[in-house]
């Protein structure tokens, strides 16, 4: 939830508002972040064991981070 709120704040703020360096990195990969959030939420909504959803979410984040560092 915090990730969604932070990302939406960064994406909708006035363009002349100074933001931390991390804001630019996060908004540059907003589509990937939203995809991770959507996948995780879908698992929870489907009734999957929350511990399993958490493990899968962490694995997805590691894959995404590895792909970003490789590019």
pTM: 0.78
* Res 2: pLDDT: 86
Exposed, middle or buried, 47 (CB in 10 Å: 0-12/13-18/19+)? Answer: exposed
The alpha-carbon radius of gyration of the chain (Å, integer) is 14
- The model's pLDDT over 11-67, given as tens digits with 9 standing for 90+, comes to 999 989 999 998 988 899 999 999 999 999 999 999 999 999 999 999 999 999 898
Which whole-number Å values give the CA distances from 9 to 15, 39, 60, 66, in the listed order? 12, 21, 24, 26
- What residue spans define the domains of the chain? 2-70
């Amino acid at each position: 939830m915090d990730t969604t709120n932070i990302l939406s704040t960064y994406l909708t703020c006035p363009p002349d508002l100074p933001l931390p360096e991390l804001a630019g990195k996060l908004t540059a990969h907003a589509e990937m972040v939203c995809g991770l959030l959507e996948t995780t939420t879908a698992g929870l909504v489907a009734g999957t064991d929350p511990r399993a959803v958490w493990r899968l979410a962490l694995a997805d984040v590691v894959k995404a981070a590895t792909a970003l560092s490789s590019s």
